[in-house]
Amino acid sequence: MPVRRDALYFPGLVPTKFSSVEDFLRTNDYARRRIEVADEVLGYSLLDSYAEAEVYDWEVYESGFMALTLALADWALDHVEINPVLCGGQSFGAINAAVFSGSLSYVDGLELVRSSAKVEIEYFEAQPEPLGCLFFYRLNSRQVDELVDAFRSDGHDVEVSIYLDDAVHAVSGTLADLELLEKRVREAGGYPFYTMNRSEHCASVRPLRDRLETEVYDRVTWRSPKWPMLSDVTGELLSDPEEIKQDLLDGWVTPVHWSTVVEGMRTARTEHAHIIGPRNMFARITNNALPTDVITPKKVADHEAAATANRVPR
């Protein structure tokens, strides 16, 4: 029987309440092993800090998200029938994919997160005006492009950062411009749901991308991955360590197009996608293109509950 060709895919950093993942992080053996290493690298209790962190506490929140996601992936390889032919991630998820594929060690991944957060905070605090990224849905891509083009024609410096599908988008710019844009999004029938306190995936942060390369990414060790890495920038499969490093950096200045990821999976003849993360919003998108399942704390809990129920007492 032919072996199915699977993709391991790590979504971007989605705001998630600690209470919804706390049980998994505190009780699951895979999570405890990841947390233990993180505590040693970071020099403090990641769980205690993660429990109190806001999404804007970048070092803690991103480190916690990495430990959580990698633990879910560890569990999946041992408990789910998976034959990976590629590994990829969207936005911050690409860093998790680099670690899980072996292109970065877990320790280097944590060091990269910590060092990057310091550079990013310094960069954004030094900007003459506060920058951000507005996320919204209920407008299609054509409407978003027309809205942004009209806004730019009025003298506002905004850029589309994310085309997650034809309904979920994000636009980067100054917080002042995004406040005005949010009003226009609502008037057009869109629904804004989140504003991040930094811009990303846009040409205007090229200086930050270049600083991260020399001050952070050049100071960790990059290796060939166990599975080819799917670029969310070009849709290509990457195996060369330097190409992977440059691709992650270029994600800072390149808008995310979910269609690029899907086409990359199709080109690689992927037959099934496994989306690994605390929430399952990405499964809805991928499932339109190929069969998809999610690896979440709930899936782990349901699996373990079923195993306990089916265990025959001695």
Contacts of 206 (CB under 8 A, 6+ apart): 252, 253
Q: What is the pLDDT along the chain (314 residues), one digit of tens a residue?
A: 568 899 999 998 877 889 999 999 999 999 999 999 999 999 999 999 999 998 889 999 999 999 999 999 999 999 999 999 999 999 999 999 999 999 999 999 999 999 999 999 999 999 999 999 999 999 999 999 999 999 999 999 999 999 988 889 999 999 999 999 999 999 999 999 989 999 999 999 999 999 999 999 999 999 999 999 999 999 999 999 999 999 999 999 999 999 999 999 999 999 999 999 987 666 666 666 789 999 999 999 998 888 878 765 55
* pTM for the predicted model, two decimal places: 0.94
Question: Do the domains spanning 6-119+204-310 and 131-196 agree at the CATH topology level?
Answer: no
Using only the alpha carbons of the chain, give its radius of gyration.
20
Residues in the chain: 314
CB 229 within 8 A of CB 87: yes
Tokens 């947390």 correspond to: 35
- What is the C-alpha to C-alpha distance for residues 234 and 254, in angstroms, rounded to an integer? 9
CATH class (in words) of the domain with range 6-119+204-310:
alpha beta
Token digits of residue 15: 């705001």
Report strand pairing: 84-89 vs 272-276. unpaired
CA 126 to chain CA mean position, Å: 25
Rounded Cα distance between 135 and 133, Å, is 7
At 232-263, the pLDDT tens digits run: 999 999 999 999 999 999 999 999 999 999 99
Domain 131-196 has CATH 3.30.70.250: yes
What token pair was written down for 110?
A: 């944590």
- Are β-strands 6-10 and 191-196 bridged in parallel, bridged antiparallel, or unpaired? unpaired
55: buried, middle or exposed (CB in 10 Å: 19+, 13-18, 0-12)?
middle
Interhelix angle for 29-42 vs 58-79, to 10°? Answer: 150
Q: How far is 50 from 39, CA to CA, in rounded Å?
A: 11
Which residues, at least 6 apart from 98, have a Cβ–Cβ distance to it below 8 Å? 89, 104, 109, 225, 229, 244, 248
* Cβ(234)–Cβ(180) below 8 Å: no
Domain ranges of the chain: 6-119+204-310, 131-196
